[in-house]
Each structure stands twice: as C-alpha cells, then as structure tokens.
Amino acid sequence: MKKWKISAGTASIIGLSAIRVQEPTTTAYLMLGENCLQACKFCAQSRTSQARAHFLSRVSWPEFESSLVAATIADAARQGKIRRICLQVVGDADNWLNTIQSLAILKSGNDIPISVSSCINSADQAQQLFDCGAARIGIALDGATPRIFQSSKHSSWDKRWNLLLECAQAFPGKISTHLIVGLGETEREMISRIAVCLDHDITVGLFAFTPVRGTEWQHRPPPPIECYRRVQVAYYLLRRGYSPDLFSFEQDKLVGFSIDRQQLYQELADGKAFQTSGCSYCNRPYYNERPGQLFYNYPRQLNAQEAVLALEQCRLK
Ligand code: SF4
C-alpha cells in the first residue's frame, strides 16, 4: 500500500496525530512523491536541497497509508472540518502516474473540491486532470518576473507563463498560481504580475519567502512585513475591482492610493486583505511563520486589534 505525506496540521485535524494545533487547517494538504527533478533555490524538495525530505516550506509532512488518509479526510469532510483537498505532487519521474492514481483514490470517497498541482506540460494534460476529478489546477509561477523566475528556479519562464495563460483561457476560473514575495522582485513588479493574473481570471495564492535550512537560499531573509502587507493590500484592492492605475509608487515601492481615505479605510478595516489568499478554504496555517510569530498570512479572520496592527504595518502615506 502506498504512503502519502500530509501536513502536520492536516494530520491533526483529521485525527491521525495527537498534536493539538492552535489554528486549524480548513484544507487537507497532501504532498506526494520525492526526489524532485527541479532545482528551485527556496524549496526543501528541490534536487539541490539538503533539507529533510519531509519538509515543505516550514511545515513537516508525516507519512500515512494512502487508504487511511483518504478515508479520514472523507470523515473530516463529512463533519465540515475540511472543505478542500490540495494535492501537490513533486516533479519526480513518477509524477504523472502518481497524480492520476492518487486523484482516483481521493475522488472515490470524497466530494469536496480537489486542487491539483502537478508537473503538467500542456492544456491536454490539464484536461485529463479535470476529467479525473480535479476541481482546480495549480501552475506555480513562484517568481513574479522572468528575471526572478530564472534566478530562483533555473527554469524557463516562457514555457511556464505561456502554459498558465493557455490553461487560464481553456479553463476559465479554474486555474491557480502561486507567487512568492521576497525572491528579489520589486513591489511594483509583484503587484503588476498579480494584476495581469487577475485579468486572466487566474487565482493567486500569495506566499512570503521563508528560508528553510538545507536549501540554497537558507540564509536569505524573508521579506519585510511592511512590504508584504502592502502587496496584500494591493492584491485585495485589485480583487475588489480597483484599477492598478490608482496605485502610487516611489522607487518601485507602493506608497499610496488615489482612493478616498474613508472609502479605503472601509475597504480594509475588517482585515480580510491580510488573510491567506488562493483557492477557497485554503488557509495554510504556519506555512510562512512559526506558532506565536506574527502571521504573514492570517489563516482565519483577524480580530479588531490585529486588523489595526496589520494596517499600520503597511506604512502607507
Ligand atoms: S492556493 Fe492553496 S489549495 Fe490552492 S493550490 Fe495553492 S496551496 Fe493548494
């Protein structure tokens, strides 16, 4: 019987681990495969990484029998604890077969939506994943520009970007991507890329770069919180329909908005801008932060005090 890795938070919420978590996950995160052939400098699963194989970002991934995972996720879904499954398959030699087989196992006992991130090369493969039951497909950019993509992933931007656009056009509203703040891009570059993705109806899951021991970029610092907060605000306002033309930049940093002050405050006062973004019900607790640390992405609604603090952290004019 195959073994699957699931995030420690997933193991806890579906009852496969006794560890109690402060911030429950609302998505079940699965990571399949090992020995990724890609060489992303920030990723614990990369072929250039010396990190322990059961890490991704700063989350640990214990292993369980696949049938047990599928059945316990189905139970947790029936109880309303889990609302989505995120299936990430690392880019090893068995990637495609592993994806199809695992999707079939998960689909047979579950009717909650499944987001699949695998190493596809064509819209035809994306179609096959939808035919096998995927609700959404993730094609990660990670880097916001060709320059950042090349320097952080040793890979071809054109191929990935064109595939993302092709799939977004073929499957409107069903494609997600990931963007990581802090790989060396400017705020203007990141916000422009988010705006283009939204124009193509691509959902963006925003991450903060997190140095992981054993990776090539283990000593690189995470992005300053004020930078991350500004990108979150810009992303939220773009989702709310505001034009990027209303954003003001100085030396490629976001400094303000041509939006009525009170209206802007009303838009941002509930703190939703600072919650985890991406597929619905994806909250990724502790992907980018340690328990007790300030959240880059809040995995739940913010309280009033947290919302005020997050806004102050933007340091906008
Ligand atoms: S946004 Fe969340 S659920 Fe969607 S692919 Fe990314 S990690 Fe998975």
Determine what percent of the chain falls in helix, strand and coil, rounding each to the nearest 5: 35, 15, 45
- Residue 204 CA to ligand 1 centre (angstroms): 9
Residue 280, pLDDT score: 97
Average pLDDT of the residues of the chain: 94
Determine if ligand 1 sits within 6 Å of the CB of residue 26: no
Residue 55, pLDDT score: 63
Determine if ligand 1 sits within 6 Å of the CB of residue 297: no
Residue 237, pLDDT score: 98
Spatial separation of the C-alpha atoms in residues 95 and 89, rounded to whole Å: 6
Neighbours of 291 (CB within 10 A): 9
Residue 277, pLDDT score: 98
Determine if ligand 1 sits within 6 Å of the CB of residue 299: no
Neighbours of 266 (CB within 10 A): 10
% of residues, the chain, pLDDT over 70: 97
Residue 290, pLDDT score: 79
Give the alpha-carbon dihedral of 147, 140, 276, 145, to 10 degrees: 20
Residues facing 253 on adjacent strands = 250
Least confident span in 148-162, 265-279, 298-312 = 148-162
Helix, strand or coil for residue 307? helix
- Residue 82 CA to ligand 1 centre (angstroms): 14
Residue 1, pLDDT score: 65
The DSSP symbol for 226 reads H
The model's pTM is: 0.95
The atom of ligand 1 lying closest to the CA of 116 is 5
Q: Say which residues have a Cβ less than 8 Å from residue 11's Cβ, sequence separation at least 6.
A: 17, 19, 62, 64
Residue 40, pLDDT score: 87
Residue 56, pLDDT score: 60
- Residue 251 CA to ligand 1 centre (angstroms): 32
- Residue 317 CA to ligand 1 centre (angstroms): 33
Neighbours of 227 (CB within 10 A): 21
The number of helices, as runs of H, and strands, as runs of E, in the chain is: 10, 12
pLDDT tens-digit map of 257-302: 999 999 999 999 999 999 999 999 999 998 888 778 899 999 999 9
pLDDT tens-digit map of 44-67: 888 888 876 666 666 788 999 999
Q: State mean pLDDT over 159-171.
A: 98
pLDDT tens-digit map of 188-222: 999 999 999 999 999 999 999 999 889 999 999 99
Domains and CATH numbers, the chain: 3-313 (3.20.20.70)
Q: Treating both helix axes as pointing N-terminal to C-terminal, what angle do 157-170 and 146-153 enclose, rounded to 10 degrees? A: 120
H or E segment to which residue 134 belongs: none
Spatial separation of the C-alpha atoms in residues 205 and 195, rounded to whole Å: 13
Q: State mean pLDDT over 69-93.
A: 95
The atom of ligand 1 lying closest to the CA of 117 is 5
Identify whether the C-beta of residue 120 lies closer than 8 Å to the C-beta of residue 144: no
Spatial separation of the C-alpha atoms in residues 105 and 126, rounded to whole Å: 18
- Residue 67 CA to ligand 1 centre (angstroms): 22
- Residue 250 CA to ligand 1 centre (angstroms): 32
Q: State mean pLDDT over 147-155.
A: 91
Residue 57, pLDDT score: 61
**Structure confidence at residue 133 as a pLDDT band (50, 70, 90):** very high
Q: Work out the angle at residue 220's Cα, subtended by the Cα atoms of residues 219 and 225, and round it to the nearest 5 degrees.
A: 130
Determine if ligand 1 sits within 6 Å of the CB of residue 115: yes
pLDDT tens-digit map of 16-35: 998 888 999 999 999 998 87
Residue 91, pLDDT score: 82
pLDDT tens-digit map of 68-77: 999 999 999 9
pLDDT at 179 over 80: yes
Which of 87, 284, 297 for mutating ligand 1's site (highest number of atoms within 8 Å of CB)? 284
